[in-house]
Chains A and B, each alone.
Chain A
Amino acid sequence: MQTDRIVAAGKLNPLIPHPAEMILALVFFAILVLLVKKFIVPAFEQAFAERTAAIEGGLAAAETKQAEADAKLAELEKQLADARHEAARIREEAREQGAAIVAEMREQAQAESARILEHGRTQIEAERQQAVTSLRAEVGALATGLAGRIVGESLDDEVRQSRVVERFLADLESGQAPSGVN
């Protein structure tokens, strides 16, 4: 039996193919190619494409964000500069306004004081006039009384009295001695 097998093996040429094996290899390989083509390649390619898109999209998004942030920063800086400028302008204006107000106030106070002064002066003048008038009346009465007593003549009659006083005063003003007294 062993010799049979050796003889059989000697006759066997491994290079001559088994037809069924050739066909089966082709069939199974074709099945594998179809399966790979239908399920595996699309799945992997889709995963690769999605990953590429995600990475590229992420990079683009980051760039956009960066640009936005830069723009916002520039805008904020500009706003800050504007605000500083505005503040300086307002301060300057306030200073000017304050100076103007102080000057106006001073002017008003001066006017007021002048007015009060004028008012006082007028009042004093009026009071003086009043004093002069009342003094004149009192002085007249005193002088009349005094003269009546001196001359013993009743000068109670009012008309006469005032006439005498007038004359007396006129005499006084003219610097002459009252004629009635002589």
Chain B
Amino acid sequence: MSAIAMTAIPTEGFTPPGPGDFNLPPIGHSEGTAPTFEFLGQTMYWGVTKPMVQLALSVVLIFTFFYLASRHRAMVPGKLQYVGETAYGFVRNGLARDTIGSHDFMRFVPYLVALFFFILVNNYFGLIPGIQFPTFSRAGMAYALAALSWVVYNYVGMRKHGVGGYLKLQTVPSGVRGVVLLLLVPLEFFSNILVRPVTLALRLFANMFAGHMLLILFALGGEYLLLHTTGLTPVAGVLSFVMFMGVSVLEMLVMALQAYVFVLLTSMYIAGALADEH
């Protein structure tokens, strides 16, 4: 009888995933019981949520891995040390040194190494069974890291060139004179100082958000088509699961790529801020 009742309600019974699926209630609470507060016109949960725990977990995982890998400092590295050195060297040499240059890069290595693996691990939480939530699909987390990058590259630039010298470096293109400057200087200021942190944050957040949304859609949609419809549509449910797997593989790539792009752009901004006058 219940089967008949279910077939009687077709697509109206399906709730499509939305931004609400990312607004998890605090641990130990359900949607109804969680305490809330108002912020910027939004009602927000008050309490420890899953992505917050994931942040702490990622710190523990990253530090444990690198600590164990770097502990022995063997001349001939073992497997773990080799993997650790390769991962560390990838950011140290492939990102920091190649972008910032061998003169200045070393003081940014701790920041960039931590940034890369912090984003990478938190992104991959979106695929790890049992966790399955990319931390940076919460916009605030991405904003925080982008804001920090913004502070870092502007700060080192101002320390090196002075505030005026730095602003001139960032906003006045070389070889341009006269009236064109009136047009270009605001444009450069807008693009180099204002837009950079926004794009940095949104690129990471939107990729994680959209990717996870896509996965939820294929998972929930597949389940609904398979279990709650009749006729040929369950076949579409199977196809939906196949798509889920395909998108998961794509997400693996996107997650690593977003971590890489975030750190690459951060080191490029630092390099640009440290650049000598051209």
A residues lining the B interface (CB < 8 Å): 2, 5-6, 8-26, 28-29, 31-33, 35-37, 39-41, 43-44, 46-48, 50-51, 54
The 5 residue pairs across chains A and B that have the minimum distance between CB atoms = A17-B140, A9-B20, A37-B110, A43-B70, A21-B140
- The answer on a CB contact under 8 Å between B20 and A12 is yes
Q: Report which residue of A10, A13, A35 has the largest number of chain B beta carbons within 10 angstroms of its beta carbon.
A: A35
Contact with A along B64-85 (1 / 0, CB 8 A): 0011001101110100010011
Question: Is B70 a contact partner of A40 (Cβ separation < 8 A)?
Answer: yes
Q: Which of A13, A32, A50 lies in contact with B19, CB distance below 8 A?
A: A13
Overall SS of chain A's interface? helix
A9 and B18 within 8 A (CB): yes
**Which residue from chain B places its CB closest to the CB of A49 in the assembled complex?**
B73
Cβ-defined contact, B144 with A46, below 8 A: no
* 19 examples of A-B residue contacts, CB within 8 angstroms: A5-B20, A6-B15, A10-B18, A11-B43, A12-B19, A12-B20, A14-B19, A15-B205, A18-B138, A19-B44, A28-B56, A31-B59, A39-B67, A39-B70, A41-B113, A44-B70, A44-B85, A44-B88, A47-B81
- Tally the A-B contacts, defined by beta carbons under 8 Å: 140
B187 within 8 A of A: no
Beyond known contacts A24-B55, A39-B63, A48-B85: 6 more, CB 8 A cutoff = A21-B138, A36-B113, A37-B110, A37-B111, A40-B70, A41-B110
Chain B positions within 8 Å of A35 at CB level: 59, 63, 114
The answer to whether A36 and B55 touch (CB under 8 A), given A12-B18, A54-B75, is no
B23 at interface, CB cutoff 8 A: yes
Cross-chain contact A9 with B19 (CB below 8 angstroms) = yes
A17 in contact with B139 (CB, 8 Å): yes
> Do A22 and B75 touch (CB < 8 A)?
no
Contact A15–B139 (Cβ < 8 Å): yes
Q: Is B42 an interface residue (CB 8 A)?
A: yes
Residues of B within 8 A of A24 (CB): 52, 55, 141
Asked whether, in the complex, the Cβ of B39 is within 8 Å of the Cβ of A18, the reply is yes
Interface residue B250 (Cβ < 8 Å from any Cβ of A): no
In whole angstroms, what is the CA distance A137 to B166 when docked?
155
Q: Report whether B20 and A18 are in contact in the complex, using a CB–CB cutoff of 8 Å.
A: no
Q: Is the CB of A19 within 8 A of B19?
A: no
Q: Is the CB of B15 within 8 A of A2?
A: yes
B residues within 8 A CB of A19? 39, 44, 140
Within 8 A of A (CB), among B190-207: 205
A32 and B114 within 8 A (CB): yes
List residues of chain B with CB within 8 A of the CB of A22.
140-141, 143-144
Known A-B contacts A25-B141, A29-B145; the reply to A14 vs B209 at CB < 8 A is: yes
Closest to A46 in B: B73
Knowing A5-B15, A25-B55, A28-B59, say if A33 contacts B111 (CB, 8 Å).
yes
Q: Does A40 contact B67, Cβ atoms closer than 8 Å?
A: yes
**Within the assembled complex, what's the spacing in Å between the Cα atoms of A19 and B42?**
11
- Judging by beta carbons under 8 Å apart, are B115 and A29 in contact? yes
User: How far apart sit A20 and B31, CA to CA, in the bound complex (Å)?
Assistant: 18
B6: A residues at CB distance < 8 A:
none
Q: Judge whether A40 and B19 touch: CB under 8 Å.
A: no
In the complex, chain A residues whose CB is within 8 Å of the CB of B113: 36, 40-41
Q: For residue B213, which residue of chain A has the nearest CB? A: A14
Chain A residues contacting B138 (CB-CB under 8 Å) are: 17-18, 21
Chain B residues with CB under 8 Å of A23's CB are 144
Complex Cα gap A15–B73 (Å): 44
Which residues on the B side are within 8 Å of A28 (C-beta)? 55-56, 58-59, 118
The interface residues of chain B lying within 8 Å CB-to-CB of A31 are: 59
A12 touching B70 in the complex, CB below 8 Å, given contacts A19-B39, A22-B140, A36-B110: no
| B19 near A47: Cβ-Cβ < 8 Å | no
> Does A33 contact B110, Cβ atoms closer than 8 Å?
yes
Q: Which residues of A contact B209 (CB under 8 A)?
A: 14
Q: Give every chain B residue within 8 A of A33 (Cβ-Cβ).
A: 110-111, 114-115
Q: Would A14 and B110 count as touching, CB distance under 8 A? A: no
For residue B255, give the distance in angstroms from its CB to the closest CB of chain A. 17
- Once A29-B114, A44-B85 are accepted as A-B contacts, the answer to whether A16 and B40 lie under 8 Å apart by CB is yes
Contact of B140 among A9, A11, A13, A25 (CB under 8 A): A25
